[in-house]
Amino acid sequence: MSCYICLRGHDAHKLPFLCPMDARNQIYSDRIKHAQLLVENEGLRSHINTLIGGAEAVDAGKAAQTLADDGTTQILESADRVRQQIRDAKEDIRQRRAALSTRRSQLAAASHGDSDRRSKDQRDVEKSTQMFNFRWSQSAEDMAVTRAFLCREAVKLYGLKRTRKGASGRYEYLLGRLPIIDLRDMEAQTPEAISTSLAHISHILMLIAHYLAVRLPAEITLPHRDYPRPTIFNLAGSYHHGRTSFPGTPSATTILNETQQTSSQHLPTPRPLYIDKPLRQFAKENSAAFSFFLEGVTLLAYNIAWLCCSQGVSIGDKSSFDDISNMGKNLHSLLVSSSLQGPTLANAANDDRPGTSNKDEVTPSWIGRYSHGTAFYALAGADGTELVRTFKLPSPMKLADKLKKKILGEASAPDWELLEDDAWKVDDAAGVEPGKELPANGSQPLKSESRGWMKVKSR
């Protein structure tokens, strides 16, 4: 560019500034650079202003980036955990498979002799059970032997014996040196003999039932403080009663006089096992008390027969009135026969009592086995109940009716009559001596202190 004043070109090295143009030319390049810098500065200012105006978007972007980074980190950590769990699960599966394999091998090894071990264990259990049952049965047998021994000693103390009566060959049974009454021949006995015999029978029967731990079907009440006589309850009123009206007491007077009151009908009335008057006189004066007495003695005989059946002792025909009524024979069969002594003493018992041919004496002893006090031979159990059902004894009421018919039937048409001493005054006044007529009839003279004279009727 030339100067418009001096018209020469500018040369910065050779020519100095001669005019303002030269000076302007001298600084022109710097001005261009300054302008460029200003333009760049303005551009930068605009860019900076633009950036400063969008800071919130930048922060949001940064937050989103941070969240994305955190999510990525969590995903990676979760993936790492899942991979670790997969590795742990695979390791656990491997260990379980190894354990199952070991158990299978052990089970296979154990099953190889399992049947033998089971058989051995079963044999051991069966053997121990058999030993227990054997010891239990031995204890029950020892208990039965002990009971039989106690019964035997009680019989020895009471003196239960059997003797032959005269030339008839019939047996007479004694208890406490007194004859045991037979219900069939009870009419020929005195009231004192009947009452004493029944008292002895009741006492020995209760003692034997206590030793054998047997509850008799008909409850017997021995003499006690409130009542001095033995009594017996019927089957329905035994063992489940409270207050009792004993015969002869004020509460039972109306019952014995056939005028029962409705207020006392629910109370069980024990049957007396004693009498104070001869049977015929007793039947005429008080038929209700007479019926009660007959029911009582038949209940006593029923108890004896039932006890014999429960201990395996035969009484003959169980449905026969004669076999059940013979209480002495049944007591002797129960307490003195060879079945009580046991099979080993059967021969000795037969030697002591010749002439007996009872087939039950050679059977094993049952005395003391079945009772209500043990669990092995329990009369209250299923076997005991089945055994009781096989007794098939007649009802005590039927036995009492038969006994009443027998006594009253014989009393309806007697071959002789009983007279008081005053009845012979007429014969004495006529000069007849009764002591001379009696030997002609084959009888012995009777004493005057008896209850009366016996005069044979003319037929």
- For residue 188, is it within any domain? yes
Residue 441 and residue 434: Cα distance in Å, rounded?
Answer: 11
- For residue 221, is it within any domain? yes
Contact 378, 213 (CB under 8 A): no
pLDDT one-digit tens code per residue, 334-372: 888 744 444 433 333 333 344 444 434 444 567 888 888
Domain of residue 200 covers: 135-240+269-339+367-408
pLDDT of residue 80: 94
pLDDT of residue 438: 38
Residue 430 and residue 437: Cα distance in Å, rounded?
Answer: 14
pLDDT of residue 421: 55
pLDDT of residue 313: 87
In DSSP notation, 151-183 reads HHHHHHHHT-EEEEEGGGTEEEEEETTEEPP-G
Instruction: Determine the residue type at 347.
Output: N
pLDDT higher than threshold 70 for residue 242: no
pLDDT higher than threshold 90 for residue 205: yes
Q: What are phi and psi of 181, to 5 degrees?
A: -70, 145
Assign 23 a pLDDT band (cuts: 50, 70, 90).
confident
pLDDT higher than threshold 80 for residue 154: yes
pLDDT of residue 219: 92
Please classify residue 354 by burial: count the beta carbons closer than 10 Å to its beta carbon, then call 0-12 exposed, 13-18 middle and 19+ buried: exposed
Q: Give whichever of 52-56, 357-361, 376-380, 452-456 has the largest mean pLDDT.
A: 376-380
pLDDT one-digit tens code per residue, 61-112: 788 889 999 999 999 999 999 999 999 999 999 999 999 999 998 888 777 7
Contact 459, 427 (CB under 8 A): no
pLDDT one-digit tens code per residue, 269-314: 889 999 998 888 888 898 899 999 999 999 999 999 999 999 888 8
pLDDT of residue 115: 77
pLDDT of residue 312: 85
Residues 6 or more apart whose Cβ sits within 8 Å of residue 267: 241, 243, 244, 245, 251
- For residue 43, is it within any domain? no
- For residue 26, is it within any domain? no
Residues 6 or more apart whose Cβ sits within 8 Å of residue 208: 151, 154, 307, 334, 335
pTM over 0.85: no
pLDDT higher than threshold 80 for residue 374: yes
pLDDT of residue 3: 62
pLDDT of residue 132: 93
pLDDT higher than threshold 50 for residue 156: yes
Residue 42 and residue 49: Cα distance in Å, rounded?
Answer: 10
User: Which range is least confidently modeled, 2-6, 76-80, 223-227, 323-327?
Assistant: 2-6
Residue 99 and residue 118: Cα distance in Å, rounded?
Answer: 26
Query: Is 112 or 401 the better-scoring residue by pLDDT?
Result: 401
- For residue 449, is it within any domain? no
Residue 410 and residue 358: Cα distance in Å, rounded?
Answer: 32
Share above pLDDT 70 across residues of the chain, in percent, rounded to a whole number: 71
Mean of per-residue pLDDT scores for the chain? 78
- For residue 167, is it within any domain? yes
- For residue 116, is it within any domain? no
3-state class (DSSP) for residue 378: strand
Please tell me the total number of residues recorded for the chain in this structure.
459
- For residue 98, is it within any domain? no
pLDDT of residue 126: 94
Structural domains counted in the chain: 1
3-state class (DSSP) for residue 417: strand
pLDDT of residue 263: 43
pLDDT of residue 197: 93
Residue 19 and residue 34: Cα distance in Å, rounded?
Answer: 23
User: Which range is least confidently modeled, 142-151, 375-384, 425-434?
Assistant: 425-434
Assign 449 a pLDDT band (cuts: 50, 70, 90).
very low
